[in-house]
Amino acid sequence: MAAKTKGKESRQEEGQEQDPVAREITAWTFLSLPQIGSLSEQNIEGVQKKLEEFLNFRQIKTSLKEAVLLDYYVSGFWWAKEMDFTHLQLSGFMAILNFLLENLSTKHITLEDNIKELGRAMAGIGESHSEKSGGLDFFSVDQAKAIISYLKISLFQHYKLYEYLFHKPREELVIGDEQNVVELVKPMDTLFPAPLEEGISYDMYSSFIALPPESEVETEEINQECHPEGLQPETESLDIDPMAGFTIEDVKSVLGQVTTEIIGSLQTEINEKLQMQEEAYTVRIDKLKNT
């Protein structure tokens, strides 16, 4: 009898140890069943708007924390909905998400300890009348495995990022009213870009694709207006030799005259400079003699 009494007392103590976890999971204080029913009727955009309202998120566009939390809950709810969870199971799953996130944000629980808390909460699933039940008996074993797999690729995989989100202070960036000048790409002169090296040849591009500059097009249009077809003047290219009509003697005489004039002017200039230098040296010599 004493052994049985001790066994009952030990089981009661174990049950008391699990009671806090069971109370946190089964209280359903995160999202009520009516709220779950309202979310189940919405598409993904509607779920996001409803959760913004239920969670009282007012700064989604400016608060990184609220945006991350909203994505966390929306993704989790939509995954559970696609798993065909009942309303009670949806409520329990959302409570699990909130339970684990609260452990991280408020209690600063590490990843290993949070996994242990999840194990305690999901204890007893698949067992009838288990004394170690965490209050989630409405899930099947396969559903519990799916939940664990989902948490592995969501919260647990990015645990360090969530820790940084909650426990690392961030600077608040103030956006001023300064006007920023944005440079735009200038328009091209042609409708088509230049060909690539491995594309068509430049001759083909310039002949059939590239359009002439606007100035040339306007000039051609003006010429066509001034000279209609049939009345345009014909320009004949005449090949005339500029040296025609001159003999070799004429060329020699002309070159001789030009050479004589150039050399004569150079000799005169040189003689003038030499005379100036000679006079300067003479003046210096006279000064030296007088001293």
As a whole number, mean pLDDT of residues 39-59 equals 90
HSE of 150, CA atoms in CB hemisphere, 13 A: 20
- The answer on 280 and 155 residing in a single domain is no
pLDDT value of residue 28: 45
Task: For residue 175, tell me if it sits in a domain.
Answer: no
Same domain, 29 and 118: yes
As a whole number of angstroms, the distance between CA 191 and CA 271 comes to 68
**How many domains would you assign to the chain?**
3
Same domain, 55 and 192: no
Contact 122, 135 (CB under 8 A): no
Give the ranges where the chain is alpha helix by DSSP (H).
Answer: 2-26, 33-40, 44-54, 64-82, 87-105, 111-121, 141-151, 159-167, 202-204, 214-226, 248-290
Range of the domain at 271: 259-291
Say yes or no: 98 and 43 in one domain. Answer: yes
Instruction: Tell whether 193 is covered by a domain.
Output: yes
Distance CA 81, CA 51 (A): 15
In a domain, 93, yes or no: yes
CA distance 20 to 291: 125
Quick one: 191 and 114 in the same domain? no
Closest CA to 158 of 200, 96, 114, 213: 114
State whether 192 and 163 are in the same domain. no
pLDDT at 1 over 50: no
Q: Domain check: are 44 and 188 in the same one?
A: no
Q: Are 144 and 82 contained in the same domain? A: yes
Does 99 fall in a domain? yes
Q: Look at residue 264 in the predicted model and tell me its pLDDT.
A: 79
pLDDT digit string, tens, across residues 232-257: 444 444 566 666 667 778 777 877 88
Asked if 30 and 107 sit in the same domain, the reply is yes
Average pLDDT over residues 151-167: 90
Q: Name the pTM for this structure.
A: 0.50
Number of Cβ within a 10 Å radius of residue 98: 20
- Between helix 159-167 and helix 64-82 the angle, nearest 10°, is 140
